[in-house]
């Protein structure tokens, strides 16, 4: 049985003080939730402070990106070695990284494998643009993005996949849960083709894109969707906790 995961992607929000306050508010209202793993992914500079706030709560920590080299002349980059031991997860290949910062399938693949080599769990984001969606190329795009990362590789000890249609991110236009379930099923089939059915069945696949406390249950009810990557709604502590509570309360 795959454990549900709700991960917060704070993106480029929150200075140290704000991050500490937000993490504290999440900690206070979350209490002990059963059956759902929760992770907060703040900006790099907030990781230490948020880690201190979350100590002994069971809430996990993640980073939002990582470079693929261990060390060297890479101004501005953060290496997996620096994150090792600091956080459990690292988001890789988010559409904002791909579209604004020029991450490619190739660099995303290198980042995923570098993260795994340093015992970090990659949250690999994949998803089609509106143009690709409207021209019925979703399956082709997801296959390309996934294959780039998984081909020629043995199964990683742990990886999470986040299916995030680009047109649903930050737009308020969340994708239909039934349609997402079908797409996620296709993603799992691709995983099975590369890594075998047993491994594929153990990999959590999240949905991301305009998730909120009102629509999360619709996704969680779908048998193939194992949680969510939450952007905008994760910046409000109560709203984020309500997403977690609704997840815990939803029958699968």
Residues of this chain that interact with ligand PGA (CB under 6 A) are: 9, 164, 169-170, 208-211, 229-233
Shortest distance, position 96 Cβ to ligand PGA, whole Å? 7
State residue 209 phi and psi, 5-degree precision: 140, 95
Please say which residue, 161 or 195, places its beta carbon nearer to ligand PGA: 161
Shortest distance, position 154 Cβ to ligand PGA, whole Å? 28
Q: Which residues pair with 4 in a beta bridge?
A: 36
State residue 8 phi and psi, 5-degree precision: -100, 125
Is 164 marked active-site?
yes
Please say which residue, 169 or 195, places its beta carbon nearer to ligand PGA: 169
Helix ranges restricted to H, the chain: 16-30, 47-54, 80-83, 95-100, 105-117, 130-134, 138-150, 177-195, 197-202, 216-220, 237-249
Region label for 212, one of left (φ > 0), alpha (ψ between -120 and 50) or beta (otherwise): beta
Please say which residue, 6 or 195, places its beta carbon nearer to ligand PGA: 6
Please say which residue, 96 or 224, places its beta carbon nearer to ligand PGA: 96
Given the residues 37, 96, 132, 164, select the one marked as catalytic: 164
Distance CA 120, CA 159 (A): 9
Shortest distance, position 172 Cβ to ligand PGA, whole Å? 8
SS3 204: strand
Shortest distance, position 210 Cβ to ligand PGA, whole Å? 4
Give burial (CB, 10 Å; 0-12/13-18/19+) of 37: buried
Given the residues 94, 96, 132, 224, select the one marked as catalytic: 94
Q: Give the residue numbers annotated as catalytic, written as ranges.
A: 94, 164
């Amino acid at each position: 049985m795959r454990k549900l995961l709700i991960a917060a992607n704070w993106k480029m929000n929150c200075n140290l003080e704000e991050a500490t306050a937000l993490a504290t508010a999440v900690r206070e209202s979350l209490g002990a939730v059963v059956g759902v793993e929760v992770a907060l992914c703040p900006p790099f500079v907030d990781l230490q402070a948020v880690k201190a706030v979350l100590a002994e709560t069971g809430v996990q920590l993640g980073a939002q990106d990582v470079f693929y080299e261990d060390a060297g002349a890479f101004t501005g980059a953060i290496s997996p070695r620096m994150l090792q031991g600091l956080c459990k997860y690292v988001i890789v290949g988010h559409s904002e990284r791909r579209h604004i910062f020029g991450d490619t399938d190739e660099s995303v693949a290198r980042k995923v494998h570098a993260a795994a080599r340093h015992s970090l769990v990659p949250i690999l984001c994949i998803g089609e643009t509106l143009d690709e969606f409207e021209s019925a190329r979703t399956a082709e795009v997801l296959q390309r993005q996934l294959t780039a990362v998984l081909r020629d590789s043995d199964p990683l000890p742990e990886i999470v996949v986040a299916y995030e249609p680009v047109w649903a991110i930050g737009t308020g236009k969340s994708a239909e849960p039934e349609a997402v379930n079908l797409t996620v099923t296709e993603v799992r089939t691709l995983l099975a083709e590369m890594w075998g059915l047993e491994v594929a069945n153990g990999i959590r696949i999240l949905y991301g894109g305009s998730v909120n406390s009102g629509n999360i249950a619709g996704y969680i009810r779908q048998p193939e969707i194992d949680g969510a990557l939450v952007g905008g709604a994760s910046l409000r502590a109560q709203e984020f906790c309500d997403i977690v509570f609704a997840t815990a309360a939803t029958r699968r």
